[in-house]
Structure 1
Amino acid sequence: MEISIIGSGTWATAIANLLSENEDVLMYARDLKVVNSINNNHINSKYFPDKKLRENIRATADVLELFKNKYIVNAIPTQSIRSVYENLAPYLDESKVIINLSKGLELNTHYRISEIFEDILGDINYAILSGPSHAEEVIEEMPTTLVCASNDIKIAKDIQEIFNREYFRVYTSTDVIGVEIGGSIKNILAFGIGMADGLSYGDNSKAALITRGIHEMERFAKSFGADEKTINGLAGIGDLIVTATSDLSRNNRAGRLVGEGYSIEESVDKVKMVVEGIPTTRAVYELSKEKNIEMPITEELYKVLFEGKSAHQSVKDLMGRDLKNEY
């Protein structure tokens, strides 16, 4: 069997290398230098220049070539999904299975990724693979555990079998909403916790942001029908821990740079990768206002990112909110 991956970034490459242990892999990359580097040298020169990939990983710049395969792994950023897949709808039918690796909510529509695909393609076979997983560790085969969620448990179990390895354990779930929301909001919180680090606020502040952030994530997810257990699992708290506390997290790094005084644009430029927490902050903030969901941390981060509020003042305002019972 050959598995297709749309995308060629760090996570796409790490997953391609994992899958290539048992299956052939075909990756899509827009950059012809990356295509040629993978095909000729078995290296993704842009993201893992020092890592030799297996020879049964091929790359192509022709996205239509990928749709000959049953399993289509989506690894492109959330805000690009609609523009890429709108032209591909004729090639995706009930025989295909989309396995999503991306996280976040779409700007303007505020859709989760499963909703974006449903809006473009109608009723499709869809699953999301999410959890605490740095690509840089997965490609080195460090022990990692994720959850695969699909409305169809058989699809989730099939994907579990395809991806499971000695170093890569996959659980199953049918709570697509919870897994998608957990993976989205953890990026917002990771940015905020990085910002607190950049402000040199210390471990007390970080612990408070993580704890109250989990409460905020749970409140938001439950408002849309998610299972509380999902937020307390790998896709929620698990992913938040790894994203909020590691230098490998692009959202945490960008937040830290903002806390140190860099502009949003400068911070994203220094990270050199998509910082999904920034557009997701806007989408979640707007959705929380529309649905009247209390999201104080998200609201303050929105004001820092999009209204020019100082990070110091945002923390001060969070600390000065009306006193209340913890729960």
Structure 2
Amino acid sequence: MRSPTSSRISAARRLRPNAGTRPSTTRANTGDCEHPPVSPLFGRRKPPIVVPPVPQVTILGAGSWGTTFAKILADGGADVTLWARRPELAREIGLAKRNSDYLPGINLPPSIRATSSLEEAVGASAFVFVSIPSQSLRSNLAALSPLIGPETVVVSLMKGVEKGTGLRMSEVLEQGLVIDRDRLAVASGPNLALEIAKEQPTAAVISSASLATAEAVAMVATNRYFRSFVNTDVIGTEFGGVLKNLIAVAIGIVDGVGYGENTKASILTRGLAEMTDFAVAYGARPETMSGLAGLGDLIATSSSPLSRNNTAGRLLGQGYSFTDVVARMQQTAEGLASVAPILTLAAARGVDMPIVQQVSQVLAGTLNPRDIAPHLTTDSLEPQGERPIDGRKNRGGPALRRPFQRTFDQLRNGGRGAGGH
């Protein structure tokens, strides 16, 4: 069996630019789709980031996802320090290699260190992964900013938008840390923490404006049970992670009411169309919504009892008020906090989101959860997603057809992509 070090050195060699690769002229068509960490489809790029055999990394936030990602990185060969806000939790993780509050029953790698000191946690880390509740992120950045070095890569593990500003988490990080967006990345995909902590195989997407940054992060965040792919569609990758939470709440609501699979499948399908139209209106590529960061994440979050957003929806469907649901949830369900800012952003671009609107009404107590299903229908007989929502602006209505057409193009060209490169 190859050691993590030899595997990482081999991966670093694969990242070296190939002098014989012909520059691509089709980046706009292929560059925002998911690829393994190495792909000739992107053509010219910035020089690759050198990843040492044992990179130093920091995880900020010791909730279920932050702790799980620390395990992912450590199992991939990284030197990991995990920051926990509470000293007693840091002690438990550091000494017992357990997180009984957020990840009970999981043994953490012995190499993981934990601390409640932000300065000690960041140290000289080359990569800082941030897993803090989205609505408290900005308040933590003032203390973090002076600790981030000029070459440090910062990766968002969060799936939310900031109330009041409507900013995505990478935008909040860019503002709060005053950091070049080429040193920012986001991670998303069908990533239920407990399943991954149990080392069940899964995949994720690492997205950055800089392909070199995305590839470097993907190298670090890959191991025998966790595979990272890359794209450069940061907008689509982030909004996919945000929007699927809202649809998962809706599916949880009808599940709590007692409706069956037909209703849930209808919401999932029409919800994906809403997600695509919204994301495309803000500059995302529609293909991203049919990939791991969109459809993949939506399926996992909507169908699993491990999903906090699905659980919150089920409680709402069972008759609990919004206040009661928040009180009963041990961890943050990001979808609940994202409903209002997403609807504000949708209105600003003229995007119709009836399912998310219904979730908002249930949260406000103005719509009986049992009445959510009849509102799935509209006056139009055309299925949502089969035509442009606005035929003049073409903001993404036919988006669900484009990824399939691209797949057919790839098959026709022997897997070389639509442009044949």
* Alpha-carbon distance between aligned partners in 1 of 2:237 and 2:187, rounded to the nearest angstrom: 8
Q: Which structure shows the bigger proportion of residues in helix conformation?
A: 1
CA-to-aligned-CA distance 1:173-230 (integer Å, 9 cap, x gap): 0000000000000000000001011111111100100000000000000001101110
| TM-score normalised by L of structure 1 | 0.96
1:29 is the counterpart of 2:84: yes
Kept in 1, the 8 Å contact 2:72–2:222? The answer is: no
Structure 1 Cα separation of the partners of residues 102 and 172 of structure 2: 27
Q: What does residue 69 of structure 2 align with?
A: 15
Q: Which amino acid aligns with 1:74?
A: V
CA–CA separation in structure 1 for the residues paired with 2:71 and 2:222: 13
Amino acid aligned to 1:261? G
In the TM superposition, residue 117 of structure 1 has moved relative to its aligned partner by 1.2
Structure 2 unaligned residues grouped into runs of 5+: 1-54, 387-421
SS at match of 1:169: strand
CA contact (8 A) 1:79 1:106 kept: yes
Out of 97, 101, 104, which is 2:157 matched to? 101
Q: Is residue 104–residue 184 contact of structure 1 (8 Å, CA) maintained in 2?
A: yes
Residue 215 of structure 1: aligned partner: 273
Mapped to 2, the partners of 1:43 and 1:84 lie a distance apart of 25
Say whether 1:6 aligns with 2:93.
no
* Alignment-mate amino acid for residue 160 of structure 1: A
The residue that corresponds to 2:327 in the other structure is: 269
Say whether 1:62 aligns with 2:120.
Answer: no
User: 1:239, 1:317 → 2: CA distance?
Assistant: 24
Q: How far, CA to CA, are the matches of 1:119 and 1:248 in structure 2?
A: 33
Q: Which has the larger radius of gyration?
A: 2
Q: Deviations over 1:100-146 (max 9, x none)?
A: 11101111000011111122223331111110011111111111011
Q: Distance in 2 between matches of 1:66 and 1:37?
A: 16
Identity of aligned residues (%): 37
Taking the aligned partners of 1:248 and 1:103, their CA distance within structure 2 comes to: 16
On the 8 A contact 2:189/2:205 being kept in 1, the answer is yes
Choose 91-100 or 9-18, whichever is displaced more. 91-100
Kept in 2: contact 1:66–1:72 (CA 8 A)? no
**Which stretch shifts more, 252-261 or 162-171?**
162-171
Establish whether residue 285 from structure 1 lines up as the match of residue 343 from structure 2.
yes
Over the aligned positions, Cα root-mean-square deviation in angstroms equals 1.4
Contact kept, 8 Å, 2:252 with 2:317, in 1: the verdict is yes
Q: Which residue of 2 aligns with 1:90?
A: 146
Report 1:274-313 matches (<5 A).
274-306=332-364, 308-313=366-371
Other-structure match for 2:399:
none
Letter in 1 for 2:154: I
Structure 2 contact 257–317 (Cα < 8 Å) conserved: yes
Q: Distance in 2 between matches of 1:166 and 1:48?
A: 21
For residue 27 of structure 1, give the secondary structure of its aligned residue in structure 2: strand
Q: Which amino acid aligns with 2:80?
A: V
- Could you say what secondary structure the match of 1:132 adopts? coil
1:205 paired residue number: 263
User: Separation in 1 of the partners of 2:102 and 2:146?
Assistant: 31
Tell me the secondary structure at the aligned position of residue 20 of structure 1.
helix
Distance 1:279 1:228 in 2: 25
Which is further off, 80-89 or 200-209? 80-89
User: Cα offset for 1:41?
Assistant: 1.4
TM-score of the superposition, structure 2-length normalised?
A: 0.75
**How far 1:307 sits from its partner (Å)?**
5.1
**One-letter code aligned to 1:244:** S
Deviation at 1:324, TM superposition (A): 3.4
Residue 129 (str. 1) matches residue 129 (str. 2): no
Are the counterparts in 1 of residues 263 and 373 from structure 2 also a CA contact under 8 Å? no
Distance 1:260 1:299, change over 3 A: same
Question: 1:41: which partner in 2?
Answer: 96
Letter in 2 for 1:45: S
Tell me the alpha carbon deviations over residues 232-273 of structure 1, each in whole angstroms, 9 at most, x when there is no partner: 000000000000001111100110111011112222333311
Match of 1:74 in 2: 130
1:25 match: secondary structure: strand
1:67 and 1:91 in contact (8 A); partners too = yes
Structure 2 SS opposite 1:209? helix
Unaligned runs of 5+ in 1: none
* Alpha-carbon distance in structure 1 between the residues aligned to 2:285 and 2:149: 30
Alignment of 1:192-271 (within 5 A): 192-271=250-329
Residue type at the aligned position of 1:80: S
Question: For residue 109 of structure 1, what is the amino acid of its counterpart?
Answer: T
